[in-house]
Amino acid sequence: MSSLLSEHFAIRVKIFKASDLPHPNISSLVCVQVGSNKKYSSTVRNTDKPVYNDYFVFDLSMEFSTLMNIIITVAMYQPRKAYKYKRLIGCISLDTATVWAHRDHRLKKWLSLFLPSDPTGKLMALVQCEIIVEAPDRYKSLYQLSPVESPDVIGGMRARYKVQLYRCIGLEIEDSKKNVSRVSIRVSFAGNSKSTTKRPLQQWPEWNEQITFIEFFPPLFQKITVDIIVGKKFLASKQFYLSQFSNVSTDGYLPTLGPTYIHFYTNDYVYQASLSVSIQTELISLFRFDERFHGVTVESVRPLPKESYGSMGSFLCYGVLFDVALINIDYSYKDFSVCISFGGTGRKILKNDLNNTSTLTYNSVKRNKHFAYLPLEENKPCVFIRSDEPNSLHRLFNMNLLSKTADNLRDRIDYANELSVKGNEGEAKGLLKESLQKLKSDCAIISKQFSMGITQLDKDRMRFILKQLTRIKSTVIGGMNFRALLEKSKEFLSILDTVCEDVQNSLPNLIVVLKSAKKIIGYSIVLPNKIIFSHSELKKGCGSGKINYLVLNDESNNCVGRLDIWLWLGFWNQVGQCLRALPPGHEDISKVVTLPLKLTFTANKFSVICRIYGGRIADGLDHEGLCDSFLSVVLSTQSQRTSTKKRSLVPLWKETLVLEELNLYHSPVYIQQNPPPISLYLWDENPNNTRLLGTASVIPVVRLQPFSSVIDYNLQWTKLGNLNEILAAFEIIQISDESESSDKFKMNTVIPQFIDPPTVSFKLELVFWGIRPSYFGCLTIVNRPQAIIQFGSTELKSNIITDLKFFPNFGHNLLVARVEMPETKLYSPPLVIRVTASVKFIGSGVENDAHLYTIQLPTKYQWDNLIAHRKSLVDRAEARRSLSRDSMPDLIPLMEIDAYSRTSSSTSQQQRFIKSPVAFCRSLKSWFIYLKSFLYTVEKKVEKILDDNDENDEDHDWWHKYFSGILAKYTNKLEDQKEYGGFNDVLRTFIITRQTAGFEKDVAKLKVLISLYQWPVQENVVTPRGEDPEMGVLKQNELSERVKLLVRVYCVKAFDLHPADPNGKADPYIEVATPSNVVSDKLNYVPNQLNPVFGRCLEITATFPVDTMLAVRVMDWDRLTKHDLIGETIIDLENRFYSKHRGTCGLASAYSISGFNSWRDVEKPTEILERLCNTYNLPLPQYYSKSILVACKEFVLIDVSRDEEEMRERLALEALHHWHELPVIGRYLVTEHVETRSLFKKEKPGLEQGKLE
């Protein structure tokens, strides 16, 4: 979704308390204004330290960029009396961008309130508040300022923000004697704006004025806007964020800028002017007598000395146009020219010895039914500009030093992540260590080559950057594991990205424009640091002296063509370096005395070989949800296309496309070092029109003659757009003559066998389970839905659901297919799911990684080991019991131990103890164990008596009892816990979506049971149940049938609820619902509370497969009107019910038969354990006095009980808590817990409405 579209946001404001009010017995209230919306707190009377505890939520619907400009004002008033209006005590304002810049987009501070009309700026009050900006997740990284760490009290300091405006150059003056326009500069900051005096419109107007804003420090507003106004017409605007030229860290610096030139462009990037600007910040310790504590003033300043502008340099920008291609077919057969501009030079077409800003006119030629191109052939036109600009090359060089180091580290981090995903964590760790070592050496080089500037910002930036580089160099990386190395690498990358950009870059951008007549068809922007020349490779721009492949966009940011142009930027006196850097293969220019207007290059013949294997298409476009796709490949003047794959979202072309006898006008070695990108276009072919699905550019491999005997064709996935991909390999090969081209590189209909990835046979078992709604409620699909899953060339269809409302399951139809999967995971085809209803397409889904569903079947040896040690464990347990009987044959009462000792102290007994000290110690140990057991029994009996006496105690409500037994409290929902895997281990859920009007909409969910394993299996392999794999893995799964169940929902409390009443409060209560049943607790609503404690247990009945979704809602109770929904959370009961993690009822920490923590599950631990053993074909557990044997594991319980039945339950519970320790079959079982779930509303997707425990 485009970031320019309006979306839902929320600003939450909590007002806690206030202090330091002007009078001891004053009544007060707080007003919070966001934009034009105001909300008031409750009135607290007769105190100078009021406590409000009010909470406001402002729901906004707008563009994200607009949200960042919203002003938030917190004001305190003395409430209205009968004889006068409410009186303002003090206020403070800030913008949303300031809050967003804080960690987690949350600002919790004391705000200082001042009276705007008070010239002394006396502190009127302090208000403690918390402001939170909430946005959908996709915006969390869209707009990132440098993290702000402000003091606990905001508004304690003030500063003068001085914006000094000197001279404007490059203004375009209309040729009219009646032109009497006047020009002025307007500066806006912190909600205030001020304009300079108006000057006559001329090319170089001067103001020499200073606009001073007195505002708080740290600043509460992040943006300064400078506008150029000509007459009453707005000409152009430039915006600065303070974080671009300040740093608030301990080693940081105040907002400082210039003096430097800033450049102004229109929305379609036409240059307008350059303005000399300087910004300074002074902290105020004492106000001047004529100065107000808050406001904006304008005053004159001295003209800036010439040396303050820095030296001027005569720059040359030279370009050679090699190709203009991929022009939209709508512009075919029209005349085109290419123009460049650099600042004010080039705004008008210039043709002389110093400037040639436009090429000749060329008539476009139609390549195919989609694109046109300009036939430049071997004569390449040249464009160049000579322009005098401020010499700020040191800033460009510093930017390149830092950006190249950051890009190198970023590439290595990405590659290390790829290795880690593939399981090569050791290799990835070594790569990161090597990368950090190289980074440290690079930082040492940068520290030596970093250039000092003349402005204060240059000096502050250099000091700050050198400190950061020293910190990186001194970091010790030995002993770190892979995760620590990865985090440290990302931290250093973030530091480098933060300091890369220099806002004082005084050179204008290079604008390349494609024109037809006088109309601009498309343009591209080239940053000067990308093409600047330097003798140092580290300082030189990455595109300097190279062919830059520019995408031409129109005013709507739509691509209208591609332009290949060689660019060079440097000083005019380095023109020799420019000409020597030209690509080899052109005519001799050693004798030229003026810059050439064209260059003739020698053509070299190449062939482009495209091995197109297959693709993945995210969504079909016809009535069946399928796509008739083909791929076109374009380079220079030639193009080819694949065949059309009908009715498929996973096209498998396996074709070779050849662009024969392609003329490339560079030397072969240069082409190998700088291969031209190949343009790819994915299309959907329809009878009426052909629709573009996605585009991409790929860099091919270049092979020159003589060819090597070993050729490595590495197929790679390439994204076309956001969702579509193709798997292909591309190469450019040199050809020597026409006969070789026609004989050796003919078009192949089948991809060569040596490129085709080797495959392995797998067995796919699939059970279509059912269709569920994408959101709580009834399905809109009602007409006999059917699901279809396509994997490669295999297609499996489900049964048809006859009545979706009554029984939305397909029935138990186990489908088995043998499929071929590539050995390499990278080449694996996706799973494509489609849902139709009465032949009509409903929606589709794509799972790109089919390896998620592969299982590794255990070997017979592993399964035998699971139970092989059982006999030895049984014998060992029996031996311990026998030993215990030998040591103390009969357990006797504790009171009789002394008598027993006297009666049994015979001579033979004493001799046995003396002869066998080990036996004596064992006997003594047994006595202690018995003593401990006896005391434990007494303790339990006392607890039972106390529990029976307290069962009717009203002070112990249900949630007090509940918290006495929970094992864990999760800060998020249970599905997000890693050990439970979202309860997707049995039922796999696919989201079915459909694109409507350019947006992707969820329409349903498809649930399946799926298993994918290698076939034929190896010898001695069994299923996870220890059975013959010939019988199948999914054979024993439960049938898809109706299941009735009782659901208990324990609602403890909610917090941070969005208010639903005009008074800023809510009267919340709990409601639970399934699609066929609703249970409400509205009689127990909590009045006027946004953080209610419910302590309620609600029961509701549900029937699978209709009631698979449970909605837990927090409602707002209203006396006269309909009760409103505050927010709800949706729980998938079905996935929890069938999961092997047993998500039905959490296991308690201890087994109790009475009291607060009495056993709540319908099954006892012994029953649960026995059922698990039966499920996995394990022998039944063996119980002993202090231990239990389950498969190959023995679990020992230290605390024993005299009650044999209770002891068995406790032993079984101990085994269940350690069920994950069993090999092959072990999984974590859900324990008792409290989960925290976010509340949402359907009308505001992605925007949290509070949390519920």
* Burial (Cβ within 10 Å: 0-12, 13-18, ≥19) of residue 1155: middle
pLDDT-derived band at 853, boundaries 50, 70, 90: confident
Instruction: Assess if residue 904 is contained within a domain.
Output: no
* pLDDT tens digits, 188-218: 998 889 999 998 888 788 999 999 998 888 8
Pairing of strands 206-217, 223-230: unpaired
d(C-alpha 490, C-alpha 496), whole Å:
10
Are 472 and 492 in contact by the 8 Å Cβ rule? The answer is: yes
Asked if residue 1138 and residue 1087 are part of one domain, the reply reads yes
CA distances from 790 to 217, 219, 815, 847, 869 (A): 61, 57, 13, 11, 44
Instruction: Name the residue among 877, 911, 1184 with its Cα closest to residue 919.
Output: 911
Give the three-class secondary structure for 740: helix
With the C-alpha atoms ordered 879, 883, 889, 892, is the resulting torsion angle positive or negative? negative
Which of 981, 1008, 1031 terminates a domain? The answer is 1031
CA 580 from centroid of its chain's CA atoms? 46
Place of tokens 């003026």: 594
* pLDDT tens digits, 905-924: 334 444 443 344 544 454 55
Asked if residue 162 and residue 148 are part of one domain, the reply reads no
* pLDDT tens digits, 522-535: 899 999 999 999 99
Does the pLDDT of residue 321 top 90, yes or no?
A: yes
Does the pLDDT of residue 687 top 80, yes or no?
A: no
Determine the Cα angle at 712 with ends 706 and 714, to 5°. 135
Instruction: Assess if residue 1090 is contained within a domain.
Output: yes
What mean pLDDT do residues 66-75 have? 91
Determine the Cα angle at 772 with ends 768 and 774, to 5°. 130
Question: What pLDDT does 885 receive?
Answer: 41
Asked if residue 161 and residue 69 are part of one domain, the reply reads no
Percent of the residues in the chain that have a pLDDT greater than 70, as a whole number: 84
* pLDDT tens digits, 787-798: 888 887 788 888
Give the three-class secondary structure for 643: coil
Instruction: Assess if residue 567 is contained within a domain.
Output: no
Give the three-class secondary structure for 531: helix
CATH of the domain at 418: 1.20.120
With the C-alpha atoms ordered 583, 585, 587, 590, is the resulting torsion angle positive or negative? positive
Tokens describing residue 907: 């001579």
CA distances from 1072 to 1047, 1049, 1088, 1090, 1097 (A): 10, 8, 21, 19, 10
Does the pLDDT of residue 616 top 90, yes or no?
A: no
What mean pLDDT value characterizes the chain? 81
Query: Which of 621-625, 801-805, 982-986 is modeled with the greatest confidence?
Result: 982-986
Question: What pLDDT does 916 receive?
Answer: 47
d(C-alpha 565, C-alpha 543), whole Å:
10
What mean pLDDT do residues 950-960 have? 48
Question: What pLDDT does 911 receive?
Answer: 43
Place of tokens 């005569």: 314
Instruction: Assess if residue 339 is contained within a domain.
Output: no
Instruction: Assess if residue 895 is contained within a domain.
Output: no
Asked if residue 731 and residue 772 are part of one domain, the reply reads no
State phi, psi for 115 to the nearest 5 degrees: -90, 115
What mean pLDDT do residues 602-623 have? 81
* pLDDT tens digits, 383-392: 999 988 888 8
pLDDT-derived band at 712, boundaries 50, 70, 90: low
Asked if residue 229 and residue 117 are part of one domain, the reply reads no
Instruction: Assess if residue 552 is contained within a domain.
Output: no
Residue 850 or 799, more confident: 799
d(C-alpha 655, C-alpha 631), whole Å:
11
What mean pLDDT do residues 741-769 have? 71
Please state the pTM of the whole predicted model.
Answer: 0.80
Asked if residue 1193 and residue 1075 are part of one domain, the reply reads no
What mean pLDDT do residues 897-902 have? 35
Question: Could you give the angle at which helices 907-915 and 917-950 cross, rounded to 10 degrees?
Answer: 100
Are 1195 and 1182 in contact by the 8 Å Cβ rule? The answer is: no
CA distances from 54 to 18, 382, 858 (A): 12, 68, 60
d(C-alpha 7, C-alpha 1222), whole Å:
49
Which of 998, 1031, 1064 terminates a domain? The answer is 1031
Q: Is the peptide bond before 218 cis (omega within 30 degrees of 0)?
A: yes
pLDDT-derived band at 578, boundaries 50, 70, 90: very high
Asked if residue 790 and residue 744 are part of one domain, the reply reads no
* Burial (Cβ within 10 Å: 0-12, 13-18, ≥19) of residue 1022: buried
Place of tokens 């490669």: 792
Instruction: Name the residue among 269, 237, 403, 401 with its Cα closest to residue 342.
Output: 269
d(C-alpha 609, C-alpha 607), whole Å:
6
Asked if residue 1241 and residue 1104 are part of one domain, the reply reads yes
Does the pLDDT of residue 566 top 90, yes or no?
A: yes
* Burial (Cβ within 10 Å: 0-12, 13-18, ≥19) of residue 237: middle
Give the three-class secondary structure for 532: strand
Asked if residue 995 and residue 851 are part of one domain, the reply reads yes
Instruction: Assess if residue 127 is contained within a domain.
Output: yes
Are 639 and 703 in contact by the 8 Å Cβ rule? The answer is: no
What mean pLDDT do residues 628-639 have? 87
Question: What pLDDT does 898 receive?
Answer: 39
Asked if residue 233 and residue 274 are part of one domain, the reply reads yes
Lowest mean pLDDT among 328-342, 859-873, 992-1006: 859-873
pLDDT-derived band at 891, boundaries 50, 70, 90: very low
How many structural domains is the chain composed of?
A: 7
pLDDT-derived band at 651, boundaries 50, 70, 90: confident
d(C-alpha 72, C-alpha 37), whole Å:
10
Asked if residue 491 and residue 422 are part of one domain, the reply reads yes
Residue 4 or 809, more confident: 809
Instruction: Assess if residue 1117 is contained within a domain.
Output: yes
What mean pLDDT do residues 1149-1165 have? 84
pLDDT-derived band at 333, boundaries 50, 70, 90: confident
CATH of the domain at 210: 2.60.40.150
Strand-pair partners of 1196? 1187
pLDDT-derived band at 300, boundaries 50, 70, 90: very high
Give every strand in the sheet of 295-300, ordered side by side. Answer: 257-265, 271-284, 157-169, 206-217, 295-300
d(C-alpha 98, C-alpha 107), whole Å:
9
Give the three-class secondary structure for 891: coil
* Burial (Cβ within 10 Å: 0-12, 13-18, ≥19) of residue 11: buried
d(C-alpha 414, C-alpha 1052), whole Å:
44
pLDDT-derived band at 307, boundaries 50, 70, 90: confident
Asked if residue 763 and residue 743 are part of one domain, the reply reads no
Strand-pair partners of 282? 160
State phi, psi for 167 to the nearest 5 degrees: -135, 145
Give the three-class secondary structure for 310: coil
Strand-pair partners of 1147? 1231
Give the three-class secondary structure for 727: strand
Which of 706, 734, 755 terminates a domain? The answer is 755
* pLDDT tens digits, 134-172: 888 766 655 444 445 556 778 778 888 999 999 888 887
Give the DSSP H/E element, type plus range, for residue 336: strand 335-342
d(C-alpha 388, C-alpha 507), whole Å:
10
Tokens describing residue 41: 């707190």
Residue span of the structural domain in which 1014 resides? 759-857+990-1031
